[in-house]
Amino acid sequence: MQAEHSSAELPQLRRQKILLILERDGKVMASELSQHFAVSEDTIRRDLSELASAGLVQRVHGGALPRPKDTGKDYFTRVSETDEVKTRLAQLAARRVKDGQIVMFDSGSTTLQIARSLPSDIVITAVTASPMIAITLAEYKGITVIVAGGQLNPATMSSSGHETLRLIEGIKADLVFTGVCAIHPEVGLSSLHFDEVPVKQAMLASASHVIAVTTADKLGAVEPFVVAPCARVHTLITERHVASGNLEDYQRLGIEVVQADA
């Protein structure tokens, strides 16, 4: 980067430009931004701290990474915003489920949509810590539903705690649909909520095949609490319009990448 801006530039305008650079490049480094804006690294670090406090970036050593666009939204808001893209992703994911399997459903609006997209005559055993997903799955005559109960988090509408973990750890599933708050090829899967990290980790450890289903805005993004490295994911299902270059890092990790048609 070359110095192109006056050091007298308004901080708010500079921070908006930092966000544009972050959207374009997928990450920003304080040293490079310092040169770009002709200000000190301390000034840039203050900018990044302000952006992080506003929930717009995730601070990392030496710079910042993007956060998902829906970060901080409550569960029912995210469910009500389910769109055609998320529905198409869920339908594609639901095709991976076969009769006779034990399938774990992580919490989340996308996994709820996957549950809604299963064939009406599917015969499986389903395990979930989400009451909303359990209710949806209970409508299928051929699905036996096991609910991993515990303390309910209203923000995620899922349970956590010792009892939840004990049940999940006692099951060896064929398949898990892991909820994706954010996924980054270097950082891995990460979550906004600390209490759901052990539950997600237990599900990943208990399943033979892990499928992550996500919209494009969560690719390359980071939340505060790391769940697991990307290598723990076997299949990544995402949107068709994502540039192939943005997916190559995941493919290099041995992940099967599937893009849904529009």
pLDDT digits (tens, 9 = 90+) for 131-141: 999 999 999 99
Strands (E), the chain: 28-29, 57-60, 63-66, 102-105, 124-128, 143-147, 151-153, 158-160, 173-178, 182-184, 188-191, 207-213, 225-228, 235-239, 256-260
Q: Could you report the per-residue pLDDT of 174-221, keeping only the tens digit for each?
A: 999 999 999 999 999 999 899 999 999 999 999 999 999 999 889 989
Indicate the average pLDDT of the chain.
89
pLDDT over 60 at 4, yes or no: no
Query: Of 55, 9, 56, 67, whose CA–CA distance to 33 is shortest?
Result: 9
pLDDT over 60 at 254, yes or no: yes
Least confident residue range of 40-54, 97-111, 139-153, 156-170: 40-54
Distances (CA, A) of 175 to 64, 96, 126, 156, 203: 34, 9, 10, 21, 9
For the whole prediction, is pTM greater than 0.85?
no
100/63: higher pLDDT: 100
Q: Which pLDDT does position 60 carry in this prediction?
A: 85
Least confident residue range of 3-7, 53-57, 95-99, 238-242: 3-7
Q: Could you report the per-residue pLDDT of 76-89, keeping only the tens digit for each?
A: 666 666 678 889 99
Q: Which pLDDT does position 240 carry in this prediction?
A: 86
70/115: higher pLDDT: 115
Report the alpha-carbon distance of residue 230 to residue 245 in Å, rounded.
17
Other CB atoms within a 10 A radius of the CB of residue 105 amount to: 26
Q: Which pLDDT does position 84 carry in this prediction?
A: 85
Q: Could you report the per-residue pLDDT of 5-55, keeping only the tens digit for each?
A: 444 468 888 888 888 888 788 889 999 998 888 898 899 988 998 888 888
Residue % of the chain over a pLDDT of 90: 58
